[in-house]
Structure 1
Amino acid sequence: MVDKDIMQRKLSFIDLKLRNLETLKLIERQDFLASFQAVDATKYNLQVCIEALIDVSNHIVARERWGIPNTSAEAVKLLIKHGILGEDKEHSLVQMVKFRNRIVHLYQEVDDAEIYRILQENLKDIKGFIQAVINRFF
């Protein structure tokens, strides 16, 4: 059984960082790309959101005794396999995990325009993850 206190703290953290990202999302593209502060703040907030999402996934997998995932993407896939997340979310969530890996390990290859695109188009995926977890466990 999941520890709801741990889950609530992680989900609240993600929600806080999403609010930061929603503020950054309001910046016009040209101004965003000209501001290393906006770009770096967005990278950081995306990174920690995804990290917390991975932590929640691993927590659920461990507490529900669904095995030991070899990768972060596998932890997310186990949530899909067990019906917490819809199968239609697999591609976007796995891409999110891969993106987090690029920010952390291949940071020099992450394009600022891609960061802006993700900010504009993909926050709904993180929100959907939160909602799915809340619907199942709270």
Structure 2
Amino acid sequence: MVDKDIIQRKLSFIDLKLQNLETLKLIEREDFLASFQAVDAAKYNLQVCIEALIDVSNHVVARERWGIPSTSAEAVKLIIQHGVLGKDKELSLVQMVKFRNRIVHLYQEVDNSEIYRILQENLDDIKGFIQAVISKFF
């Protein structure tokens, strides 16, 4: 059984970082791309949001005894396979995990325009993850 306190703390952290990202989302594209502070803040907040999402996934998989994922993407796939999230979310969540890996390990290859696009188009995927976990376990 999942530890609801751990899950709640992680989800609250994600929600707080999403609020930061929503603020950054309001910046016009040209101004965003011209500001290393905005770009760096967005990268950091995206990175830790996704990291916390991975932590929640790993916690759920371990506590529910759904297997031992060999990668973070596999942990996300396992919670989808067990109905925490819909199958339609798999591609976007796996892409998030891969993006997090690029920020951490291939940081020099991350295009700032991609960061801006993610802010504009993909924050709802993270919100959907939060809602799905809450619906399933609370």
The TM-score normalised by the length of structure 2 is 1.00
Q: Aligned partner of 2:123: which letter?
A: L
Aligned pairs (5 A) from 1:106-121 = 106-121=106-121
Deviations 1:50-83 (A, max 9, x none): 0000000000000000110000000000011000
* Distance apart, 1:134 and its partner CA: 0.2
* Distance apart, 1:130 and its partner CA: 0.2
Separation of aligned partners in 2, 1:80 and 1:5: 22
Separation of aligned partners in 2, 1:78 and 1:86: 11
* Distance apart, 1:47 and its partner CA: 0.1
* Distance apart, 1:36 and its partner CA: 0.1
Shift >2 Å, 4+ stretches:
none
Aligned pairs (5 A) from 1:89-128 = 89-128=89-128
Q: Aligned partner of 2:15: which letter?
A: D
* Secondary structure of the structure 2 residue equivalent to 1:69: coil
Q: Which residue of structure 2 lines up, in the alignment, with residue 83 of structure 1?
A: 83
The TM-score normalised by the length of structure 1 is 1.00
Separation of aligned partners in 1, 2:85 and 2:49: 17
Q: Aligned partner of 2:47: which letter?
A: Q
Share of identical aligned residues, percent? 88
Separation of aligned partners in 1, 2:42 and 2:49: 10
* Distance apart, 1:6 and its partner CA: 0.3
* Secondary structure of the structure 1 residue equivalent to 2:85: coil
Which runs of 5 or more residues in structure 2 are unaligned?
Answer: none
Separation of aligned partners in 2, 1:104 and 1:4: 28
* Distance apart, 1:25 and its partner CA: 0.3
* Distance apart, 1:132 and its partner CA: 0.2
Separation of aligned partners in 2, 1:54 and 1:40: 21
Q: Aligned partner of 2:19: which letter?
A: R
Deviations 1:78-137 (A, max 9, x none): 011000010000000000000000000000000000000001000000000000000000
Separation of aligned partners in 2, 1:31 and 1:80: 37
* Secondary structure of the structure 1 residue equivalent to 2:128: helix
Number of residue pairs matched by the alignment: 138
